[in-house]
Amino acid sequence: MTTWQILNLERNASDGGVIKVYWLAKRHEQVGEGENESVYSAYYKGTTDLTPDASLDSFILFENLTEDVVLDWVYNEINKTEIETEITNSIEGQKNPTTFEGVPW
């Protein structure tokens, strides 16, 4: 399962309206146990620009924001499914590589 996290917020000094959200989507997958255990990880970092309007009834004061509220704003602006698919594909590529690097000597 992909975990989403807000890393930071940039806001207007005048009204505290959030204008930029820095976020991270990540996933870790463990396969096997003990000596046969492998852990695969992938992540996607991004930013989302917002245009707050303090005159709206739906405006939320900065000190009243929660991570869930801000994540909903991000999800409304991005293609969440596409990003999660990209992360899943990255992990699958790590588990089943189609190319290898190295030299024979």
Q: Is residue 104 part of a domain?
A: no
Q: Tens digits of per-residue pLDDT, 65-100?
A: 999 999 999 999 999 999 999 999 999 999 999 999
Q: Is residue 51 part of a domain?
A: yes
Residues 52-60: contacts with CB under 8 Å, at least 24 apart: 52/12, 52/15, 52/17, 52/18, 52/19, 53/17, 54/15, 54/17, 59/17
Q: Is residue 102 part of a domain?
A: no
Q: Is residue 103 part of a domain?
A: no
Q: Containing domain of residue 19, as a range? A: 3-95
Q: Is residue 49 part of a domain?
A: yes
Q: Is residue 100 part of a domain?
A: no
Q: Is residue 101 part of a domain?
A: no
**Which pTM was predicted?**
0.88
Q: Is residue 78 part of a domain?
A: yes
Q: How far apart are CA 13 and CA 26, in angstroms?
A: 31
Q: Tens digits of per-residue pLDDT, 37-65?
A: 999 999 999 999 999 999 999 999 999 99
Count of domains observed in the chain: 1
